[in-house]
Amino acid sequence: MDPIPGERSDADLLAAHAAGDRDAFAQLYFRHHRRLRRLAVNLVRDPEDAADALQEAMLSAHRGAATFRQQAAVGSWLHRIVLNACLDRLRHNRTHSTEVLDERMCAVPDRTGRSDTRISVHSALMTLPAEQRSAVEAVDIQGLSVAGAARLLGIAEGTVKSRRARGRRRLADVLRDAAPHPR
């Protein structure tokens, strides 16, 4: 996200924070928090877990600001930290799960077909393994190029392509199975 003319850039804010400026990190966070929160909620599904993952990520970024090497944009660096925190939380929840909820218990009725479609696609997306979901999320939802997604996820472009392709095939299968069948 570009700063308004006259405001400090993301890199300047991060450097100022690392140098001891008490307000710089807060300004950086408020510049990016909507996008980072949306990423966390889309990946983790549960708003409370997403908030926890985002908080853990921001603490990690706050503590690690001095280690930022400026090989990527600060926004991409923050995105990657949030992504990693979300994946960690998903792995933790998978190994510590105590109860499986029936999807019908979580369904939220909506009066518009568009919202129903969005819910169906989101539910289908959540059935994907985290690696496939992050590739689909980065390219198809966040709009990154395959190269940009590869840099963000820290994997090869070919890996992004294969995970995305497998994820999209799986999504198509899940959505096809969920669609009402004519009798």
pLDDT in tens, 91-112: 887 765 555 555 555 555 545 5
Q: Which domain holds residue 157?
A: 103-182
Mean of all residue pLDDT scores within the chain: 83
- Residue 60 is assigned to a structural domain of this protein: yes
- For the cut 90, the answer to whether the pLDDT of residue 10 exceeds it is yes
Tens of pLDDT, residues 20-69: 998 999 999 999 999 999 989 988 888 898 999 999 999 999 999 888 88
Give pLDDT, residue 170.
Answer: 92
Give pLDDT, residue 175.
Answer: 84
Specify whether 151 is located in the same domain as 110.
yes
- Residue 3 is assigned to a structural domain of this protein: no
Specify whether 13 is located in the same domain as 95.
yes
Tell me the C-alpha distance between 43 and 18, whole Å. Answer: 29
Among 99, 134, 163, give the residue marking a domain's end: 99
Higher pLDDT, 54 or 177: 54
Q: What is the CATH number of the domain that holds 137?
A: 1.10.10.10
Specify whether 126 is located in the same domain as 143.
yes
Specify whether 60 is located in the same domain as 130.
no
Q: Which residues contact 52 (CB under 8 A, 6 or more apart)?
A: 89
**Residue 108, burial from CB neighbour count under 10 angstroms (0-12, 13-18, 19+):** exposed
Tell me the C-alpha distance between 174 and 33, whole Å. Answer: 32
Question: Number of structural domains, the chain?
Answer: 2
